[in-house]
Amino acid sequence: MSLQHISAAKAIPFSDADFDALAQLARREFGLSLAPSKKPLVYSRLSRRLKDRAVDSFPAYLDLVSRPEESNEKQELISALTTNVTSFFREEHHFKTLKADCLSPLQDAAERGRRIRLWSAGCSSGQEAYCMAMTALDSLPPPARQDLRILATDIDPQIIQKARNGLYSAEEVQSVPAAYASKWVQTDAAHPGQVSMHKDLRDLIAFGELNLIAAWPFQGPFDAIFCRNVAIYFDQETQQTLWQRFCDMLHPGGFLFIGHSERVSGSALSQLEAAGVTSYRKIAHSRLPTDRRVKWD
């Protein structure tokens, strides 16, 4: 048998109907919107998974992931369909706004015992949450940090475990400003070739698994929510529901930071004002001049 015959024999068929069925499941369960143009990418990522599980067709795979005892396989499916690309101080201007406009003005109240709560929603491998922690420690002196906590969540349990470990390559931490790196990035004898996030940062952050389109088992309110480069995978209706839910979770005057190619739309816009590039602030009271309100698109 020629090499060509062997690979042809191993190829798993992937019809448009198979793709549609998978896309429906991804939307229903994870809020993901898979455009038909993603078909080749989805195939290349998932056909490996089918082979690993010795499943010879996509309908059989969908049947398998729907079984209650296959929740781990569902997690594998999420990992295959989503992108975890992230980096330290990605879109650095957000951290400058977090420091100057959100945290520094809260300093006095925090010293008097006010809670400060931040959320990295869709945190991937944790870089965003650690940057929020570095920025918070840099913005708030010790007396103001008494009740400071950061929640960091992602749908993907594998990536959450990586985030919790707080171990990165020297290359990954290159974008951490030197003044921060000298305080909070450490070499780690137990993990040669990697650096670790300082305990002071790790102690501030609670990492957890959370599907953003499911129920949220907490109430807030948060002073700032980062949800960057996540909603881009959702359809517009799912995005608008999410923006409104974030808005409901914010303190009046709290901040919402989103990805560079994302825009808030829908009902949440009537409660938000622009606060910089892809940065929004919940209007503290309803008498804000109309020209400062974010326009509906």
Ligand X SMILES: C[S@@+](CC[C@H](N)C(=O)[O-])C[C@H]1O[C@@H](n2cnc3c(N)ncnc32)[C@H](O)[C@@H]1O
DSSP-assigned letter for residue 227: E
| Nearer CB in complex with ligand X: 238/271 | 238
From candidates 42, 47, 61, 82, binder to ligand X by CB under 6 A: 82
13 phi and psi angles, rounded to 5 deg:
-65, 145
From candidates 14, 19, 30, 243, binder to ligand X by CB under 6 A: 30
> Is 225 among the residues that bind ligand X (CB under 6 A)?
no
Q: How far apart are CA 279 and CA 288, in angstroms?
A: 17
> Is 166 among the residues that bind ligand X (CB under 6 A)?
no
Q: What part of residues 235-264 is at the interface with ligand X (CB under 6 A)? A: 259
Site of tokens 């921060």:
180
169 phi and psi angles, rounded to 5 deg:
-80, 160
b/e for 14-51, b at 16 or more Cβ within 10 A? beeebbeebbebbbebbbbbbeeebbeebbeebbebbe
Range in contact with ligand X (rule: CB under 6 A) among 3-11, 47-55, 136-144, 152-160: 152-160
Q: Cis bond leading into 13, ω under 30°?
A: no
CB of 25 to ligand X, least distance (A): 13
CA angle, corner 254, sides to 249 and 256, nearest 5?
75
| Nearer CB in complex with ligand X: 83/270 | 83
| Nearer CB in complex with ligand X: 180/233 | 233
| Nearer CB in complex with ligand X: 94/145 | 94
Binding site for ligand X (CB under 6 A): 30-31, 82-86, 90, 122-124, 128, 154-156, 159, 211-213, 228-230, 233, 259
